[in-house]
Structure 1
Amino acid sequence: MLIVSFLALFCSLVSQTVYCDVAIVAPGPNSVYDLSGSGQATVNVKWMHTDTTPQEKDFIKYTFTLCSGTNALIEAMATLQTLTAAELASDEYSAVIENTVGTDGVYFIQVFSQTAIGYTIHYTNRFRLKGMKGSKMANPSMVTIAPVPQTRITTGDLGATIDSKSFTVPYNLQTGVVKYAPMQLQPATKVTAKTWKRKYATSEVTYYYTLRNSIDQHTTVTPGWSYVLTADSNYATPAPMPADNGGWYNPRKRLSLTARKVNGLRKRL
């Protein structure tokens, strides 16, 4: 069984930067494919490129992997195909899925995009496969949030590993070309603070009137999540009537006075 630990993979990345290189636009969320008839289904994976790093021309090849599981524990069910950028006529891939790769359940596709200096990992929305005959167990829950995309770009200024202590240095005191942003981690269960104050009351800005030949900063690295976001579906079958679900009440229970009918006096002509 090939298990891909999301947290382990997340921590091994060089950064969780805010690149928007690829955006998955299909398949749509909660799509359902029935494989009971032909024994296979075609899932069209579509994506779009943006103008930020890495750009479309930087990608060398793409690997598509059928996955299942939660965001915290992703399981690779089957490698679908690896294609070079030249073999993809457009930003679309038709994934042919056989009904022998696993059981009925919820799946999604990982898009691994490789460049000369790194790679990006994106995930499609989850979809449900029916009529499966495989023995490999798929996750039954339709988690609504897709796994977080990941980017690994190697530069001469940023090594392959990150010292976690770098995130403890105040941002304004960092002098390197790679800055480390101290992001908020998982909040505590209780709020103990009585007052608040601004952490950085002022900030500085430098205006340039001529073009510089060097830069002060190449990128900002943010730490990974310190917790796992879990979600699941409510599998309870709803009752046929609202009253059975507790969604209706008799308004008489809230009456404190008895309603009375008052007849008005009529004027006699």
Structure 2
Amino acid sequence: MLAFYTLFLLLSFIIVGTKADYTFTSPAAGQTFAASSPITIKFEDDGGIPAMTEITSTQVLLCTGSNSAISCFSDNLVGTFTPSESKTSYEANLASLTSLGSNGRYFFQFYSVGSGGTTIHYTERFTLTGMTGTTKATDGGDTTPPTGSNSFNTGNDDDSVITKSNTIPYLSQTGRIRYAPMQMQPGSKVTHALTASRRFPTSSVTYFTDYTLRAYAITTKTPSWSYTISQAPNWVATLPSPTGYYAASEALKRTINAKSKRGYVDL
């Protein structure tokens, strides 16, 4: 039971915190790379805010340090690119940055800018060899990436993103957030056949077969109502009080009768 509760808390945290543009799939934690060779950073759009098309540019920085003391070489960018819905990777060339730090643990920062704000995301930590600098590369004992940030103004954009995503069949969507059509307002009568039938295909489910440090949680969002409900006072006259009943306070004045279904003798 304790294990289930812990898993529930973890999934809840991830579901709440999935509002992001980038989800990294590579490099994996603990991988080792030679700084002289390009490193492929693989990512996917998790469907949250902002959409890739809302980002003007993304800067890639090389960073080291613990989660509480992040040190990025901001004066020496790895590179800059413009995201798109079809772009799923970035080739990081570190050959010109080998003199910035020593061999050790590093990670990449993606700093994205758009008209709605900025986002920051971090990859898993990896080990670099062939570095010749004096800045000590360390993870500070942390085994998970630093927490990113998202300052994009969501406002009413959430519903617009959901509405656009509804044009993609649910089973064809990817990412940690999926979007489903809104439940339609019921009509005044039933026109469907009175025999039950499945309108949509069932979705598959897969389970983890090995331990993993980060759960991959999926949640579904639906848009807000597209209709309004008209409300007005009910001007119909009230009905008279029912007969044959009495207030609860009246029970104290009545005689208990075990044979009575109500437990009291009617007056």
TM-score category (smaller protein): 0.3 to 0.5
Q: Larger Rg: 1 or 2? A: 2
- Greater fraction of residues in strand: 1
Flag the structure with more relative contact order, 1 or 2, with Cα contacts below 8 A and sequence separation at least 6: 1
What is the TM-score of this pair, normalised by structure 1? 0.47
More helix by share: 2
**TM-score w.r.t. structure 2 length?**
0.48
